Amino acid sequence: MITLAIALVAVVLVYIYGTRTYKYWEKRGVKYVKPIPFLGTYGSVYIMQKSVSQINVDAYWSYPNEKVVGQFWASKPQLLIRDPEIIKRILVTDFAHFYPRGLNPHKEVIEPLLRNLFFADGDLWRLLRQRMTPAFTSGKLKAMFPLIVQRAEKLQTRALTGSNSGQVLDARDLMARYTTDFIGACGFGLDADSLSDENSAFRKLGAKIFTSGPKDIFIAMLKEVFPDMCKHLKYLNRVEEDMINLVRSVLKDRNYEPSGRNDFIDLLLECKQKGTMVGESIEKTKPDGTAELATLELDDELLAAQVFVFFAAGFETSSSATSFTLHQLAFNPNVQEKVQEEIDRVLAKYDNKLSYDAVKEMTYLEWTFKEAMRIFPSLGFLIRECAKQYTIPEINLTIDQGVIIAISVQALHNDPKYFPNPENFRPERFDPEELRSVEKYVYLPFGAGPRVCIGERLGLMQSLAGLAALLSRFSVEPAPKTLRYPKINPASDIVQVIQGGLPLRFIKRAAK
């Protein structure tokens, strides 16, 4: 009997622990999505029925007349922001209250590869951002462009092989290989050759990073539900050693000196040569209220972490966005024709060769790419964490330190309030004249504010170059098994992934 009583008490205590925060939004008069014990409002994610992005879309539409909606990330209160003015406060105006990304429950225990610009918070993030921002100037990007052109030409060759043999090509896989080769060249100074080699080791590494199985999801769940007990569990154990060893090998080959290739490793080595990073702390203040000084050394592991996020962020987001653009063009031949007319006209001015300046002139292609990212943004949601107690003035709501903030990019991009007839693929929405009428802070494929994606311009340049290379030589059409509305992989986490690929026909265009 005593054993049974102890067991019952233990069950009750565990239940209380798992539901201890679930009155948080009710007490504050905020409408919220009802949580389930331990898992909060993300139960469907943990059993791989819905993606994180879809959960946030559902919450966005659950209370369409509210400026904010309450949720729970496991036991942590989470607030979904629906109002553009409040979004601006979170991302820009009151950034000092929301500088953490909120993806690391324990600031003192961060996996080596997660100590990067995307996942890092506080002084680690600020010093890295401060040092690395100059590495993404227009001049640096222009110097990288010849490396992009070489990969774009290989992309044409692979598409030509498939076209000549009458194959249906998976646009998702094709663009992932192009992106992998671009990252190999511009990130590591390596010829990954995944466009030619079906079994490219570099392509496998990229796939390995984004292959989340039940074990990975279970570890993520444990870290969120029981953060104190599970803080030493590693989510990226499967690729950590491979990535760190690869980066160390490249650094050793270069004798830790810039090689003149103008790739990402060179840029990081230039950052390292500048010595210890020093800056005002965003986390700590002196007794007089002024900021303390924070310092950071850029060692091998920290370099590897930045290369990892360059690989991971660039690989999945760019290949997803470019392949979805091709998918939309296949179903919108009138738009495809306008894109190709522009590409042909601009390339004729540049001796029919891709160049940095030529791609910059392809404005309709850029509008088309942005429209594809509107319908299906690679990052379906943004996330922040409240760093100190804050009152949202628009609704007089005070939230505490540690509350998670979510912004559903997917829902905002497809809200008819901001984008009329959102299901229609219409690049003209991004004509600057028309865009002026669209409310700010509702189009956020790269985020906004101090934590906006540092590689936005590089990703845009590489994506547009790949699309221009393909569409100058081929037209795309739906294949017999092409789904008009592709399904999202429910295992998708931060980046949305389409399930089953994007099969398309690549039809060779008549020579000009």
**Residue list, annotated binding site for heme:** 453
User: What letter represents residue 218's amino acid?
Assistant: F
What torsion do the CA atoms of 35, 41, 46, 49 make, to the nearest 10 degrees? 110
List residues forming the annotated binding site: 453
Beta-bridge mates of residue 39: none
Cβ pair 431, 424 in contact under 8 A: no
C-alpha span between 315 and 247 (Å, rounded): 17
Structure-token pair, residue 253: 């080959």
The residues, ordered by sequence, that sit 6+ positions from 489 with a Cβ below 8 Å of its Cβ are 51, 496, 497, 498, 499
* Residue 90: HSE in the Cβ half-sphere, 13 Å Cα cutoff: 27
User: What letter represents residue 90's amino acid?
Assistant: I
- Secondary structure tally for the chain: helices H, strands E: 19, 11
C-alpha span between 397 and 83 (Å, rounded): 14
The residues, ordered by sequence, that sit 6+ positions from 366 with a Cβ below 8 Å of its Cβ are 430, 460, 464
Helix pair 456-471, 333-349: axis angle to 10 deg: 100
Structure-token pair, residue 29: 């008069």
Task: State whether residue 498 is helix, strand or coil.
Answer: strand
C-alpha span between 356 and 149 (Å, rounded): 9
What is the C-alpha R_g of the chain? 24
User: What letter represents residue 481's amino acid?
Assistant: K
* Extended beta strands in 133-261, E state: 169-170
Beta-bridge mates of residue 478: 504
Q: What is the 3-state secondary structure (H, E, C) of 79-144?
A: EEECCHHHHHHHHHHCHHHCCCCCCCCCCCCCCHHHCCCCCCCHHHHHHHHHHHHHHHCHHHHHHH
Beta-bridge mates of residue 498: 488
